[in-house]
Amino acid sequence: MTSQLSPEIKNKVNQWLEGSYDAATKASIQALLDAQNYTELTDAFYQDLAFGTGGLRGVMGVGSNRVNRYTLGAATQGLSNYLKQSFPDTALKVAIAHDSRNRSKEFARITAEVFAANDIYVYLFDDLRPTPELSFAIRELGCQSGVVITASHNPKEYNGYKAYWVDGGQIVAPHDKNVISEVNKVAVDDIKFDGKPENIEMIGAAMDEKYLAQIQALSFSPEVIKRQKDLKIVFTPIHGTSVTLVPQILQQMGFENVHIVEEQALPDGNFPTVLYPNPEEAEALSMGLAKAKELDADLLMGTDPDADRVGIALKNHHGEWQLLNGNQTATLLINHLIQARKKAGKMQGNEYIAKTIVTTNLLDEIALKNGLEVFNTLTGFKYIAEVIRENEGKKYFLGGGEESYGYLAGEFVRDKDAILACALIAEMVAFAKDEGRSPFEKLIDIYTEYGYYYETLISLTRKGKAGADEIKAMMQGFRDAPPKMLGGSAVVQLADYNASEMTDLRTGEKTPIDLETSNVLQFFLEDGSKVSARPSGTEPKIKFYVSVKTPLNSRAEYDATEAKMKEKVAQIVKDLGV
């Protein structure tokens, strides 16, 4: 435990104790001081919450590094000020939604009232709604911005604030830095909390109908679904918002055999049945998996609290249930979009996909072989949204995704969309069944054609200021002394996205990287493997993405090849020392 407060933190604590904060907030801070809980106070005040890849996110509580009435109020006031600068002489409009987390509805109302007090017209969803529907609503209503109150898949003590721009995508450079600059200028007395009721309009069911109609329009073959209407689907919202729309869109598309995991159907910010409400975690889908086995289902799908990520499970080539990772689901989905579009005769020749740099390169191979262009972006779906905006009207975004279980198709939403993804994944499974094959067999066939990619994610949590310092030192260590060998293969190239350069470690030659700077390192091995290191922008974590590739000559060799690649990945992780 920290033995005392630094002068900087002591000063910030005093500013809150002496400033225009409510009595309950001051009492909470004083209680921490009286208890000499300096570690908690340090973590609560050592920095101001900043926009990362997912916006503003943190633990709920008092302090400048916590999510509370004042940090969200300052963010909204700063965003309001920037909107007025960016859209002068415009009648400004914003849309606001919230997820199922504790205090999300309260925080959404506070956000709405700050906007309204700044003479900005607010469309506020009447109840919890998926994040992607907020993205859709911004464009549909002609808003200049929008906010959704959510901490996505973080633990229950977290909440957050995702800010969106006029295109429906999350705020990117230069606007993100400009917004936070405005936020940093906001003092507590500058925040206008008393919203004008006439500036707030409630929205709901009518927007749902428009959004779901756009998703249904993406379906390539209603005839296939009609033939496979009895496809047995198990779905869990993991106590989140997707329960409002996933069953509805599946029914609209024609699927008649959908089973919801009842124990996880009720929206609940305490997420009582899981350790973490994250479909990337096997534990979060364990109840759904048990129900899928019990019913002998064809597909299991589970979404995170704000419904922008989805995890799935299928029966593998041995007839056993297997959870797919995000790269595998993205591979099946992109392959389906391409093949189904071709089969329907809808390919126009200007299609492209977009993915993040830490997502499997198998997507690049599939797209390029089928004549599609590929855009690789930094981690964070806001960068994929930026690509869509830049190509709008010139090229068509067929689909894309990221390894962290986020996928998108079409151009009417500008963020990862689990409602849309659930609809298309169900259609994908129906297509496979209509062909008399399993989706997992199709995945193995893809590996046979393009090479077997095996990928895994190592995620290390390091909380608080001490953890942030440790992660920073770890990244600097890799920059100062990159590993020479990983998994028995030489490291031949180092990509440092913070320095915007690629270095050939054999010759020392450097080439520029034409992307915005980001704290990411990638090691490229002589055998074609790729290892990426990246501190999370939204969680106290550092993540290592490991991808290895080898030829796969037949389905019969799949198990042996997988075992060999698992050994290789284990050796790479050992060599990294993490």
Residue-range domains of the chain with CATH: 47-203 (3.40.120.10), 211-450 (3.40.120.10), 452-576 (3.30.310)
R_g (Cα) of the chain, nearest Å: 24
- Once rounded to an integer, what is the mean pLDDT over residues 18-24? 95
* H/E stretch holding 214: helix 205-216
User: Strand, helix or coil at 364?
Assistant: helix
Tell me which of 100, 152, 219, 518 is the catalytic residue.
Answer: 152
pLDDT band for position 578 (cuts 50, 70, 90): confident
The encoded tokens of residue 163 equal 């800010």
What pLDDT, on a 0 to 100 scale, did the predictor assign at position 54? 59
Which among 314, 310, 317 has a CA at the least distance from the CA of 292?
Answer: 314
The answer on pLDDT for 133 being more than 60 is yes
Token pair for 342: 């071709």
Pair type for strands 158-164 and 233-236: unpaired
The pLDDT tens digits for 192-237 are: 999 999 999 999 999 999 999 999 999 988 999 999 999 999 999 9
Question: CA torsion angle for 481, 485, 491, 497 (degrees, to 10)?
Answer: -40
- Note the pLDDT of residue 4: 87
Higher pLDDT, 321 or 465: 321
Give the pTM. 0.93
Distance between CA atoms of 475 and 461, rounded to whole angstroms? Answer: 14
C-alpha–C-alpha distance, residues 375 and 3, integer Å: 50
- The Cα 45–Cα 6 span in angstroms is 10
Mean pLDDT within 77-104: 97
Beta pairing, strands 299-303 & 310-315: antiparallel
**CA 36, CA 40: separation in Å to the nearest integer?**
9
At 207, the amino acid letter reads: M
Residue 374 has pLDDT above 70, yes or no: yes
Terminal-residue alpha carbon distance, the chain: 25
Q: Given a cut of 80, is residue 375 above it in pLDDT?
A: yes
> Is residue 556 predicted with pLDDT exceeding 90?
yes
Q: Is the pLDDT of residue 547 over 80?
A: yes
pLDDT at 1: 45
Closest to 439 measured CA to CA, from 196, 153, 233: 233
Short-list 505, 318, 334, CA closest to 408: 334
Q: Which pLDDT does position 398 carry in this prediction?
A: 98
Q: How far apart are CA 479 and CA 494, in angstroms?
A: 9
Alpha-carbon dihedral sign for residues 145, 115, 174, 72:
negative
Q: Is 152 a catalytic residue?
A: yes
Neighbours of 276 (CB within 10 A): 16
Q: Stretch 160-186: mean pLDDT, rounded?
A: 92
Q: Is the pLDDT of residue 128 over 50?
A: yes
Q: Categorize the per-residue pLDDT at 181 as very low, low, confident or very high, splitting at 50, 70 and 90.
A: confident
Per-residue pLDDT tens over the stretch 275-331: 999 999 999 999 999 999 999 999 999 999 999 999 999 999 999 999 999 999 999
Span 417-423, mean pLDDT? 98
Quick one: average pLDDT of 26-34? Answer: 96
Over 60: is that where the pLDDT of 2 sits? no
pLDDT value of residue 31: 96
Instruction: Evaluate whether 171 touches 179 at the Cβ level (below 8 Å).
Output: yes
Average pLDDT over the chain reads 95
pLDDT at 349: 95
Q: What CA–CA distance (Å, rounded) separates 255 from 229?
A: 5
Name residue 398's amino acid.
Answer: L
Residues contacting 546, CB < 8 A, separation 6+: 455, 456, 457, 458, 529, 530, 531, 569, 572, 573
Q: Which of 44-58, 243-257, 448-462 has the lowest average pLDDT?
A: 44-58
